[in-house]
Structure 1
Amino acid sequence: MKYKDIINKMTLEEKASLMSGKDFWQTQDVERLGIPNIYLADGPHGIRKQKDAADHLGLNPSIPATCFPTAATVANSWNEELGEKMGEYLGEEAVTQKVNVLLGPGINMKRSPLAGRNFEYFSEDPYLAGKLAASMIKGIQSHGISACVKHFAVNNQEERRMSIDTVVDERTLREIYLTAFEIAVMEGKTKTVMSAYNMLNGEYTNENTHLMREILRDEWNFEGVVVTDWGGSNDRVAGLVAGNELEMPTTAGETNKEIVAAIQAGKIKEEVLDECVDRLLDLIFTTQEAFNKPTKEFDVQNHHQMAQVVAEESIVLLKNDENILPLPKGKKVAVIGDFAKEARYQGAGSSIVNPTTLENTLESLEEAGINSIGFEQGFDRYGKKNNTLMKKAVALAEKADVVLVYIGLDEVTEAEGLDRQNMSIPQNQIELVNALYEVNPNIVAILSCGAAVELPFVNKVKGLLHAYLSGQAGAKAILRILAGDVSPSGKLAETYPIRYEDTPAYHQFPGKEVSVEYREGPFIGYRYYDTANVNVLYPFGYGLSYTTFEYTNMNLSKDGATFTITNTGKVAGREAAQLYVGCSSDAIFRPKKELKGFTKVFLYPGESKTVTIPFDDKTFRYFNVVTNKWEIEEAEYVIMIGASSADIRLEESLFVEGTGAPLPYEKEKLPSYYSGKASNVTLAEFENLLGHKVPEAKWDRTKPLGYNDTIAQCQYAKGMFARFAFKAIKFSHSFLWKIGKRSTANLIMMSVYHMPFRGMARMTGGIMNMPMLDGVLMIVNGQFFKGLRHVLRERKKMLKAAKGEGIINASSSSKGEVL
């Protein structure tokens, strides 16, 4: 141990006190031994350190910080160097604000387009997500602080996220849902990992020894700190045994006492605690060094300019019929759409950043050289029909040479804690585009949202520019692309299906009660569409430019693929070239092709560059469930170089020697997986893949409700008061939604409806403890007066104990939610 001398001087109680927060954002300190507290803050795309009372919902304002594009946007850059540079800027701002641990990046897979937090995640592909995350981590940690990769692992839905059991086979787990984390840990060297809320195959992730010890610690040699998602601790002692150092936020000492009691009773050895304390002390002392040097305020304008550069390289041009873009000088342009007036530039929830400045489209048109003849709102951003707005927009469009229509999803549709109900954008926006088309076919749509949407209007527009959520400088970045000052180079990091029903998880998303089954196995995103021959609107890796690129002269070696890219157009531009690998053998089921490398090249008109995409330890591997390790199948492999997953420009075969592992599957028992048509797998076939029975997916409505049941389950509780409370919550949500208080309505669903009962103790910073919760559960389960007496008695005991110990919980007046 690095800090054995300090640990030997600590009392058992002091050691345990370090294992949970001091308040909502800080760790505990031990003043007599010179152990300071450290500060953790949200930061996937900008620092969110709050000035006043702490909460996790973004209700209280945070210190102004640069709002960079979200991960879903940055992924479209396909540029590791850019990701590292953005990380450096984030790290600099974190040091300025005295933040030791920046809670990001988020790297969960986009299993379904409807997952509410997709805007905060990179991709449907683990290799792309892992590489970009590793680069961002390096940038953040170059300043001496820590990044925190989240949410580990298989956290792919928001509904019931604090209690849902994710059922996934081991091979899919390793190849799809853990590979990005593996890259982030082993290549990015992240110092901190955040465990996810959900269960994985029957165990909460932060208690899952297979995940936390066998894989994270033993295989990946992770020596850093694991922190729970806020309120994500279930059994604190089990979490400690699994190697979960830090529980956040504070529980006012309650769980620390559980650790002390477990050691005193001989349930766990004190050495287990010492190991965790040692790793946490290392994080504390090494990150504190970042603040030893004199710090100065960061250059706000310089950071804003960096946010613009990231946005410019991440925006994707999806359609450009008749070369409608870039806009010719002098053309009369009508600007239409509520998102032009008030940009949709970031997600909602714990990642909300208070930007240092915010570019405005309407105020930047003249600077961009765009000849605007006027602006009309066109639609209500929350979907309410308004014929007056539409008529005014149509009248303006009639007078224009080109119409720019800014459309997308609103802030309450894409939000942490909630999944989207469908893949549609509001009908009033679609009707607006149809109406504009009737009077002016020269339409360019600028789309702003953080995940895939259906685009039924795509044939009514000549140009389609996808801005995603492009940060505080996004408005100006969009205009520079529209005007031709920048040639677009973003490419999709996720597939755009034609309709939601075509998606592989359509029948299994989300899990509504006890569990969610990942029956599609490894066939998510393009892995499914390409293998099952499902038509898509825009494929993975797709994006247009104002120039053209030619790929030639491919040469393979055992170390990688070398080829030449030439800019055959008339303007300078960047091209993201992608390496895919497919196995010619059918002995083991696999996707038709998988991304195994990429590079981004800048070329002037007529310029050629020879580039190499190297092979690595992930190029040919698969996870064998018989040997329980990574193996290589001996076979011919097709090496493909493409401009997208559907636009393969160069292709050659390469024989690769294998590791001689036994075949892991009986082909005849897994027909859906061997065909790749895995969107509607039967229970029996999925159980064959899993190797065991699937747990019951429905709630047992005969049992009393317990700690890990959700407040939504009060609908069938024995207690009349609980059933009434459930109806009141449902009514409140419905009423608030109808009167336009949609953010508040969402808050009810996220922080009340889907919250497990244990969250009352884990998320309230000491206002309620577990003995009090026992009384609440008595009320819920039909013992109203007994339960009420119990709550009041335990509350009195808690206050008396707190007074006796001199405990002042600075954060007890703030309720929080999740990271």
Structure 2
Amino acid sequence: MERTPGSPEALVEHALTRLDTDRKIRLLTGSGFWRTHAEPAVGLRSMLLSDGPAGVRGERYDERDPSAVLPCPTAVAASWDPALARRLGRLLAAEARRKGVDVVLGPTVNLHRTPYAGRNFECYSEDPLLSGAIGAATVSGIQSAGVAATVKHYVGNDFETDRFTVDVRIGERALREVYAAPFEHIVRTAAPWALMAAYNSVNGTTMTESPLLDEPLRGEWGFDGLVVSDWFAARSTEGAALGSLDLAMPGPLGPWGEALAAAVEDGRVPLDAVDAKVRNLLRLAARVGALGGPGEDAPAVGAGDPEPQADPDPEPHPEAELDTDTDTDTDTDTDERALLRAAAASGAVLVRNHDALLPFSAGQLRRVAVLGPNAAAARVQGGGSATVHPRQTAGPLDGLRAALGDTVEVTHAPGVRTRPRLRALDHRQMTDPVTGAPGLRVRFHAADGSLVLDELRLTSRLLWLSDTAIEKACTVEVEADVHMPGGGPHRIGVAGSGRFLLTADDAVLVDEDIAKDDPLSGILHPPERSTTHVLAPDRPTRLRLRHEFPAGALAVGFLLGVEAPDSPADEELRRAVALASDADAAVVVVGTDEQLESEGVDRTTLALPGAQDELVRRVAAVNPRTVVVVNSGAPVLLPWRSEVGAVLLTWFPGQEYGHALADILLGRSEPGGRLPMTWPADEASPALRSATPVDGAVAYGDDLDIGYRGWAAGGHRPAYPFGHGLGYTTWEYVAVSDPADLPVDGDAVVAVTLRNTGTRHGRHTVQAYLSREVSGVDRPPLWLAGFTIAEAAPGAETTVSLRLPRRAFAHWAEGWQIEPGRFTVLIGDSAEVHPVRTELRAG
């Protein structure tokens, strides 16, 4: 940035000169859980950071201020469409501006090294090129509206087990070519304004103190943004201060503050190091419009004049465009929902379609059975810090009933139950004893018994983060009259950590101090205590919950749950099978949920929970027109995949799930997705990597052979390979150009001609992989080098250009090197299917 008078960099330098050491150091720790400190004397207002990346939460996790819920990042990556990702980034920016957020904590670009990683749904892919391309487009979209994106978690946070303490051991070449590669691509092409340092260590050094924050990040790649710690990840005063960490979150406590001031005064930390950090923070503030000129108040969020960013995908997306400048809220909501609906369809992957079962013809349907534990409930997002309260959701059952109308009977049965944990209540099941309004009453009290906060809430899943009320309080009381149709025995309890007293009509159900060592895990995955209590059928039950917590707590969260008794398992299953046998088609929706796939915990199995596999097999046995819809954020095992008519992977597809699913099943939209990761057939393959540390460390011994590369290296066949997806038409590769030589100072371009040989208009993802059979360098069997989307009418040909970046031919050997000789370019539909090929010679 230039330092001409009035430029953002000039504002930064002017502000820096007016701050004394104590005020500089104060700025380097958050003022609370989500905010930075203000400094009015230099025109700096507080900046608000908020969780992403599949929605913007805002300062409070509050169902009264809901958010748009986007398809999860695996669904976005499955579109292989940077233009779509950029538009979703713009939607995130619009949400951020609406909620007063300056900095979105996303995208997450860690890699799917293992399918067991609990947070895979929040990351894009197992491939660094695909992750980098989709991540860069997302960053570009967010920052185009003057909101900062935060690329995370740099680096090696590819699983959740022991993430605070684990040492990830990565070889230099694998680090450069694989795990750091998405970050490098995003930094170089999209210039993100912030980056988050991970919890874990890499090669013996915790990432908030790692030299990797200097080189290659700031030096070689030229990153000039803010480096923020993951929450509670900054652990030392000098180690972090002497490195390139700029902001320790959350605040106001932390390892810096007075301890850093003493270290500066003693000469253990030079003032220049502090100045560099403050400069980066002020630069971020200037970019998001939080830093005014001399004597000015800082403007509101989004009012700054950010530097122009490169737009790698200027062409409009053919499905939907979000206009963030519409004149009415109704128009904005309509545009937003249209984009989210189109995005969910674009990321859905059709992996099996026997005898072209899909799409259905609505005119040939009289009765459709919609079955499965995820059919009525909309599992639209994963768990953890990515979770937001949706404005509205549509599940598969809702979407199909709306689309088919009164002319087709849509029947439903869950078939099996999969939720072992308590379910939160919503406002339709509760009444406030004070006002009689829907919801529950919440009261916070200080140590002297005085009332700090009294409010009506609409859900019994509650969380407060760095809220003024909880900072002044030490107890919270919840009270509600609960209405459960039919009464009878119900499981009632609480999920949380700390002291709880729960009563039902004065009968004590829980009276216990529930311990949890890790405070974040105590909120994300709290332990439960419950008991069975008989509810009266003709009147509400008064539930009262009292929770005690330490004074000055930064976070308070718990769930008050009531679970209705399950029907006998065999009865549930028999009913679902009976409905399927009497239907023209059966749609079985299986999957996971936000408790099984979540931040803070890795999965121990890839099997579908409960008896879902049995449900699928029983339904398929009585109805050959069975479509299985898989509603999970990452791979699960599909042992029945060859026994059913069609298999559609929908991921966690966001709030418009049901409508998008109906569009796909009825042929109004084509399932446009291709797999961004390999789906294994079972858990016995050596290609599957563990997420379990050994002696406090995880060694990335697979080196470069992550994902499909490892499957190919071992000669193993997965259920479905990386890049696979069918769509609703067929394609023939007609011709490929022969560029012969890799340009000395540029990228290679290969022209590919395809013909749509089906009967429907379609989109197809053309993928190019590099391979080298004879090489002096140890290489994977193949690696993704480029991709693009082809589109054509039935019978039509189209020619697309595949750009193969020069970097794709390079390997790391104390610098980037290109080995002279011939590279084979494999072009086709997936990591396994390459109908055409050509060769390129590197000089």
Greater helix proportion: 1
1:284 matches 2:288: no
| Separation of aligned partners in 2, 1:528 and 1:291 | 44
Indicate conservation of the 8 Å contact 2:602/2:691, yes or no.
Answer: no
| Separation of aligned partners in 2, 1:500 and 1:113 | 10
The structure 2 residue matched to 1:45, chosen from 50, 54, 65, is 54
| Separation of aligned partners in 1, 2:201 and 2:692 | 14
State the Cα distance separating 1:427 from its structure 2 match: 4.0
What secondary structure sits across from 1:369 in the alignment? helix
State the Cα distance separating 1:525 from its structure 2 match: 0.7
State the Cα distance separating 1:251 from its structure 2 match: 3.6
What pairs with 1:319-718 in structure 2 (closer than 5 Å)? 319-328=352-361, 329-331=363-365, 332-369=367-404, 371-382=408-419, 386-506=569-689, 508-557=690-739, 558=742, 559-624=748-813, 628-657=814-843
Indicate conservation of the 8 Å contact 1:334/1:403, yes or no.
Answer: yes
Indicate conservation of the 8 Å contact 2:398/2:658, yes or no.
Answer: no
| Separation of aligned partners in 2, 1:614 and 1:556 | 13
What pairs with 1:87-166 in structure 2 (closer than 5 Å)? 87-166=89-168
| Separation of aligned partners in 2, 1:125 and 1:592 | 14
What secondary structure sits across from 2:182 in the alignment? helix
What pairs with 1:742-753 in structure 2 (closer than 5 Å)? none
What secondary structure sits across from 1:365 in the alignment? helix
Aligned residue in 2 for 1:315: 348
What secondary structure sits across from 1:149 in the alignment? strand
Amino acid aligned to 2:271 = E
| Separation of aligned partners in 1, 2:360 and 2:178 | 41
Deviations 1:91-145, CA, capped at 9 Å, x for gaps: 1121121111001010000010000000000000000000000001100000011
Amino acid aligned to 2:764 = E
| Separation of aligned partners in 2, 1:28 and 1:50 | 15
Tell me: CA distance 1:292–1:620, structure 2 relative to 1, closer, same or farther (3 Å). Answer: closer
Indicate conservation of the 8 Å contact 1:369/1:483, yes or no.
Answer: no
| Separation of aligned partners in 1, 2:714 and 2:375 | 39
What pairs with 1:33-72 in structure 2 (closer than 5 Å)? 33-51=42-60, 60-61=62-63, 63-72=65-74
Indicate conservation of the 8 Å contact 2:764/2:789, yes or no.
Answer: yes
Q: Which moves more between the two structures, 32-41 or 443-452?
A: 32-41
> TM-score, normalization: structure 2?
0.74
Greater strand proportion: 2
Amino acid aligned to 2:657 = G
What secondary structure sits across from 1:648 in the alignment? coil
What pairs with 1:218-233 in structure 2 (closer than 5 Å)? 218-233=219-234
Which 5+ residue runs of structure 2 have no aligned equivalent?
A: 4-8, 290-298, 305-323, 421-565, 743-747
Q: Which moves more between the two structures, 453-462 or 249-258?
A: 249-258
State the Cα distance separating 1:475 from its structure 2 match: 1.2
Indicate conservation of the 8 Å contact 1:106/1:150, yes or no.
Answer: yes
Indicate conservation of the 8 Å contact 1:68/1:307, yes or no.
Answer: yes
What secondary structure sits across from 1:540 in the alignment? coil
| Separation of aligned partners in 2, 1:486 and 1:291 | 35
| Separation of aligned partners in 1, 2:38 and 2:607 | 49
Tell me: CA distance 1:444–1:475, structure 2 relative to 1, closer, same or farther (3 Å). Answer: same
What secondary structure sits across from 1:491 in the alignment? coil
Aligned residue in 2 for 1:688: none
Amino acid aligned to 2:358 = L
Amino acid aligned to 1:16 = I
What pairs with 1:175-194 in structure 2 (closer than 5 Å)? 175-194=177-196
State the Cα distance separating 1:614 from its structure 2 match: 1.5
Indicate conservation of the 8 Å contact 1:64/1:356, yes or no.
Answer: yes
> TM-score, normalization: structure 1?
0.77
What secondary structure sits across from 1:64 in the alignment? coil
What secondary structure sits across from 1:435 in the alignment? helix
1:22 matches 2:31: yes
Indicate conservation of the 8 Å contact 1:300/1:356, yes or no.
Answer: no
What secondary structure sits across from 2:44 in the alignment? coil
| Separation of aligned partners in 1, 2:707 and 2:776 | 23
Tell me: CA distance 1:474–1:364, structure 2 relative to 1, closer, same or farther (3 Å). Answer: closer
Amino acid aligned to 1:326 = P
State the Cα distance separating 1:652 from its structure 2 match: 1.4
Tell me: CA distance 1:652–1:253, structure 2 relative to 1, closer, same or farther (3 Å). Answer: closer
Aligned residue in 2 for 1:662: none
State the Cα distance separating 1:62 from its structure 2 match: 6.8
Aligned residue in 2 for 1:246: 247
What secondary structure sits across from 1:139 in the alignment? helix
What secondary structure sits across from 1:212 in the alignment? helix
| Separation of aligned partners in 2, 1:40 and 1:593 | 40
State the Cα distance separating 1:639 from its structure 2 match: 0.8
State the Cα distance separating 1:411 from its structure 2 match: 2.4
What secondary structure sits across from 1:536 in the alignment? coil
| Separation of aligned partners in 1, 2:328 and 2:21 | 40
Aligned residue in 1 for 2:333: 300
State the Cα distance separating 1:49 from its structure 2 match: 1.0
Deviations 1:668-709, CA, capped at 9 Å, x for gaps: xxxxxxxxxxxxxxxxxxxxxxxxxxxxxxxxxxxxxxxxxx
What pairs with 1:6-17 in structure 2 (closer than 5 Å)? 6-17=15-26
What secondary structure sits across from 1:341 in the alignment? coil
What secondary structure sits across from 2:575 in the alignment? helix
Aligned residue in 1 for 2:431: none
Aligned residue in 2 for 1:216: 217
What pairs with 1:783-802 in structure 2 (closer than 5 Å)? none
Aligned residue in 2 for 1:203: 205
What secondary structure sits across from 2:281 in the alignment? helix
| Separation of aligned partners in 2, 1:10 and 1:487 | 57
Indicate conservation of the 8 Å contact 1:584/1:635, yes or no.
Answer: no
Report % sequence identity.
32
Q: Which moves more between the two structures, 344-353 or 648-657?
A: 648-657
Which 5+ residue runs of structure 1 have no aligned equivalent?
A: 52-57, 658-819
| Separation of aligned partners in 1, 2:303 and 2:277 | 25
What secondary structure sits across from 2:738 in the alignment? strand
Indicate conservation of the 8 Å contact 2:147/2:302, yes or no.
Answer: no
| Separation of aligned partners in 2, 1:50 and 1:440 | 49
Indicate conservation of the 8 Å contact 2:118/2:159, yes or no.
Answer: yes
Deviations 1:393-418, CA, capped at 9 Å, x for gaps: 01111111211101011321111100
State the Cα distance separating 1:441 from its structure 2 match: 2.7
Tell me: CA distance 1:416–1:144, structure 2 relative to 1, closer, same or farther (3 Å). Answer: same
Q: Which moves more between the two structures, 377-386 or 14-23?
A: 377-386
State the Cα distance separating 1:355 from its structure 2 match: 1.4
Deviations 1:306-358, CA, capped at 9 Å, x for gaps: 11111110000011111111113322321111211002110001111211221
State the Cα distance separating 1:479 from its structure 2 match: 1.1
Tell me: CA distance 1:459–1:615, structure 2 relative to 1, closer, same or farther (3 Å). Answer: closer
Indicate conservation of the 8 Å contact 1:497/1:503, yes or no.
Answer: no
Amino acid aligned to 1:551 = Y
| Separation of aligned partners in 2, 1:654 and 1:601 | 22
Tell me: CA distance 1:373–1:32, structure 2 relative to 1, closer, same or farther (3 Å). Answer: closer
Amino acid aligned to 1:128 = L
| Separation of aligned partners in 2, 1:77 and 1:428 | 31
